[in-house]
Amino acid sequence: MAVNEKIARADLSSLKVLYFPDPHLREKCTPVEAVDVSVQALVERMFELMFESRGVGLAGSQVGVSVRLFIASPTFSPDDRRVYINPRIVAAEGTQEGDEGCLSFPNIYTKVKRHGKVTIRAQNLKGEWFEETAEALAARILEHEIDHLDGRLLVDRMGTVAKLAHRKAIHQLEKAFAGKNDK
């Protein structure tokens, strides 16, 4: 089945933010073939979910639609809605370290090293290619969401001490997921 056909068949009203260890989160996302009304509808639903969850970024894989797109709002303002379709980082420099969270790991925050400045190339909702350079929090969001598109999660970025510090919360997520699937 073609990627856009999968998007068109998705039940947008039933989409929700998935929690670790849902296997969709580990999937490497497939490029979007064309920016059409199904992609636009998916993006709108993702913005609803992201703002409801009080997040600043959300990848397709986090809602169970494994396509290469993510959304962001670094200022958490509905007027600051950004869409990145088929994104890739084309340049990165410097480093930064800061606390990072993830909607798929509720209430878990850990220090993560990222590039201080990144340039991304992606398509917008009109299918037009653009480049954007971001620093600080905006750069962190771009890198975090591209990690999701590649199946890489916050837990993969944690050091040993952070994994130990969060082991109880991670275990609770695993237990809740197992219980949900036993029903």
Catalytic residues: 145
* 127, 35 Cβ separation under 8 angstroms: yes
Location of structure tokens 């969850």: 53
Q: Please tell me the distance from the alpha carbon of residue 89 to that of residue 22, in angstroms, as a whole number.
A: 26
Per DSSP, the residues of 45-72 read HHHHHHHHTT-SEEEGGGGT--BSEEEE
Angle in degrees, CA 46, 47, 53, rounded to 5: 90
